[in-house]
């Protein structure tokens, strides 16, 4: 069991009487890469800013190891932030930006010089010391921001949507780079993003948020394969969400057909359930006795697979498949027991 470095207990924050973070609890272990994932306005950035010390919690505690840090000002917290827009000081060059925290601590020149060179190596920007920050590309600025945030040897690095200002290709590159840096320097990274793909790629642990509440936390695999509710299912990856009913465990009925599933009946009060099926888990083919039948209404090539919309009476299924099915074709959809996720009806 890894040691907990950051913990939130009953953390609550409101702005102008509007609750943004609603009594949440979480723990983050040492050297973990943890991502807060959620749509804009879900409170993820506020949580990060409370950890950094830019916002005071309205109530609840934040712990660093076993010490409450609520009242410690940002400049005394051993945590550093990489800002969404990098926030590099425009009146300083690359060297001075990275040296800034060390200069504040009045470290001697030699060790500052050595440390800056070492940090630039970590972020693959060796030799850029004297460059003007405005002359750097977005990706390079990002690296400088990371190097600067690491200059104080923080216990935790906080990253607020650090890749959102980059173009797609750069973003992919930086994802790999970030993961590499994290493994190399062995520090806790707390990452905030609304991009589920980024979260799945980078994280050891994902905390999914919506409306200031934690929806689910777990490994990327857990979250993707076993979403606990329709919000998570819908937000992470694409999902077909259908009303269904269960009269007994391990059997669900929806759109007039019965299927075997691996879940027990979630709620004894009602037979109503919600069925979630990932588009790539659907088998599309000939109509058969047990399949749900429909007609192809559109097909779009997505690079690796086709995205096919199939109209089945009153529900439109999204299907991802490598097979081509022309518009207007009659098809049948089939689902394996593992591919059907059952959730309590809201």
Q: Which residues bind other proteins (CB under 8 A)?
A: 52-54, 73-76, 79-81, 83-85, 87-91, 100-101, 104-105, 148-149, 151-152
Residue 204 host element (H or E): none
Q: How far is the CB of 105 from other proteins (least distance, A)?
A: 7
- Cβ 183 to other proteins, closest distance in Å? 24
| Cβ-based nearer residue to other proteins, 73 or 303 | 73
CB 162 within 8 A of CB 82: yes
Please give the Cα distance from 64 to 50 (Å, whole number): 12
Q: How far is the CB of 323 from other proteins (least distance, A)?
A: 49
Nearer to other proteins, 82 or 214 (CB): 82
Min dist CB 215 to other proteins, Å, is: 28
Report, in Å, the least distance between residue 30 CB and other proteins.
21
Nearer to other proteins, 123 or 206 (CB): 123
Cβ burial of 131 (10 Å; 0-12, 13-18, 19+) is middle
Q: What burial class does residue 104 get, using C-beta atoms within 10 Å of its C-beta: 0-12 exposed, 13-18 middle, 19+ buried?
A: exposed
Q: Write the secondary structure of 56-116 as one string of H (helix), E (strand) and C (coil).
A: CCCEEEEEECCEECCCCCHHHCCEEEECCCCCCCCCCEHHHHHHHHHHHCCCCHHHHHHHH
Residue number with CB closer to other proteins (82 or 199): 82
Q: How is 281-309 classified by DSSP, letter by letter?
A: G-EEES--TTSEEEEEEEEEE-SSSEEEE
- Name the residue nearer to other proteins (CB basis): 87 or 318: 87
């Amino acid at each position: 069991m890894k040691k907990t470095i950051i913990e939130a207990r009953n953390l609550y924050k409101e702005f102008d009487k509007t609750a943004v973070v609603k009594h949440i609890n979480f723990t983050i272990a040492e050297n973990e890469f943890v991502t807060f994932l959620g749509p804009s306005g879900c409170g993820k950035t506020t949580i990060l800013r409370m950890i950094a010390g830019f916002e005071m919690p309205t109530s609840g505690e934040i712990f660093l190891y076993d010490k409450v840090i609520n009242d410690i000002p940002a400049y005394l917290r051993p945590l550093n932030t990489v800002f969404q827009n990098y926030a590099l000081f425009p009146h300083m060059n690359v060297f001075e930006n990275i040296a800034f925290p060390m200069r504040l601590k009045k470290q001697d020149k030699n060790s500052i010089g050595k440390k800056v060179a070492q940090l630039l190596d970590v972020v693959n920007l060796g030799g850029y010391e004297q460059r003007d920050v405005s002359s750097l590309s977005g990706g390079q600025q990002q690296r400088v921001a990371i190097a600067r945030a690491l200059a104080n040897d923080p216990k935790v690095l906080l990253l607020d949507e650090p890749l959102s200002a980059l173009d797609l290709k750069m973003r992919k590159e930086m994802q790999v780079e970030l993961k590499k840096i994290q493994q190399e320097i062995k520090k806790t990274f707390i990452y905030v993003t609304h991009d589920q793909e980024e979260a799945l790629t980078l994280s050891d642990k994902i905390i999914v948020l919506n409306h200031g509440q934690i929806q689910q936390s777990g490994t990327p695999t857990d979250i993707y394969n076993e979403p606990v509710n329709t919000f998570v299912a819908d937000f992470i990856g694409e999902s077909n969400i259908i009303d269904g009913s269960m009269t007994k465990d391990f059997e669900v009925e929806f759109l007039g057909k019965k299927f075997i599933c691996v879940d027990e009946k979630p709620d004894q009060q009602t037979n109503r359930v919600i069925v979630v099926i990932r588009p790539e888990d659907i088998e599309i083919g000939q109509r058969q006795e047990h399949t749900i039948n429909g007609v192809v209404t559109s097909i779009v090539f997505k690079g690796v697979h086709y995205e096919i919309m199939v109209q089945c009476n009153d529900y439109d299924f999204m299907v991802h498949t490598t097979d081509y099915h022309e518009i207007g074709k009659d098809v049948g959809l089939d689902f394996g027991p593992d591919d059907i996720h059952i959730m309590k009806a809201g």
